[in-house]
Amino acid sequence: MSGKPEQTRAEAEAAARTLAAALPYMKRYARQTIVVKYGGHAMGEMDAARNFARDIALLKQVGINPIVVHGGGPQIGEMLKRLKIKSEFIDGLRVTDAATVEIVEMVLSGSINKEIAALINGAGGRAIGLSGKDGGLIRARKLTRTKRDPDSNIEKVLDLGFVGEPEKVDPAMIASMVQADLIPVIAPIGLGPNGETYNINADTVAGAVAAAMRASRLLLLTDVTGVLDRNKKLLSKLSVGEVRALIADGTISGGMIPKVETCLAAVEAGVGASVILDGRVPHAVLLELFTEGGAGTLIG
């Protein structure tokens, strides 16, 4: 006797029905590339992180090619607090001076990146953790932002320090890992033209990677259910034109705007579709890919 509870006939039948229902979707995405941006509160909860790792390993085992891009804002904030380094945000972007970028790289490329890769490996996958600086994977440029002064009505250029945006992603480097049956886990750090280290928004990196790889899907795991209408009901599917109309009329606002703009840019660059979904939901990635209704808002 192993001591493990035996599976009941009803549970076995339910599992079989689930597998049968998922099979057509597994075939649809076989040998396709799926880019998953992983971040938010789920990263700090070990049970949720293990579930995510098992789901990513499963995708590879059924013939799909997942690529993970991760964030780490809360973890960076906690480390800066411990080291008594003050951090400032402008329009949702962390101002990153020389001292801060060292901590950002340490947290993202070090502890978080390797932990995610280790969890996927522990779940039966073969993950390799790297940052955008490794092998020149992500060439970056300094991100520029402007803000209009309400008193003078003059636009001022904001200096965000070492905050960047992707200029070029090397698809050949990622493809070689995928062909070797590896699962790339990418930290959103880029290399500037003069060797500078740039902190890049993880959503933006995920979109750029998805575009470079002509991915079938870009999945942005967030802390919300997806795009909501004015009555706070989930919009399960939107065209590019519908998204632009919802931005124009104010239905899509605040922090959701940069997320949907990332999705639009990816779709317009050749990605099959982009999805914003709630990463707090157990097995959100599997629900999105392997069920008819999906789990979030599909844009495409």
| Token pair recorded at residue 289 | 């890919």
pLDDT computed for residue 149 by the predictor:
65
In a domain, 17, yes or no: no
Residue 101 resides in a domain: yes
In a domain, 14, yes or no: no
**Inside any domain, residue 21:** no
Domain count, the chain: 1
The DSSP annotation for 172-194 comes to HHHHHHHHTT-EEEEESEEE-TT
CA dist., res. 182 & res. 196, Å (int): 28
Asked if residue 161 is part of any domain, the answer here is: yes
Please tell me the distance from the alpha carbon of residue 66 to that of residue 53, in angstroms, as a whole number.
11
On whether residue 1 sits in a domain, the answer given is no
Is the separation of the CB atoms in 255 and 223 below 8 Å? no
Residue 5 located in a structural domain: no
The pLDDT of residue 7 is: 67
At 263, which amino acid appears? C
Specify if 16 maps to a domain: no
Tell me, what's the pLDDT at 187? Answer: 97
CA 103 to chain centre: 21
**Ordered per-residue pLDDT tens for the chain, 300 residues:** 445 556 687 766 666 676 666 676 677 888 999 999 998 666 768 888 999 999 999 999 999 999 999 998 888 888 988 988 887 777 677 888 888 899 999 999 988 999 999 999 999 999 999 999 999 999 999 998 767 666 666 776 777 889 999 999 999 999 999 999 999 999 999 999 999 999 999 999 999 999 999 999 999 998 888 999 999 999 999 999 999 999 999 999 888 888 999 999 999 999 999 999 998 888 999 989 988 877 899 998
Give the pLDDT score at 217: 96
Sheet with 183-187: strands ordered across: 127-131, 183-187, 65-70, 33-38, 217-222, 273-278, 296-299, 237-238
Tokens of 12: 């076995």
CATH code for the domain of 295: 3.40.1160.10
Domain that holds residue 230: 29-299
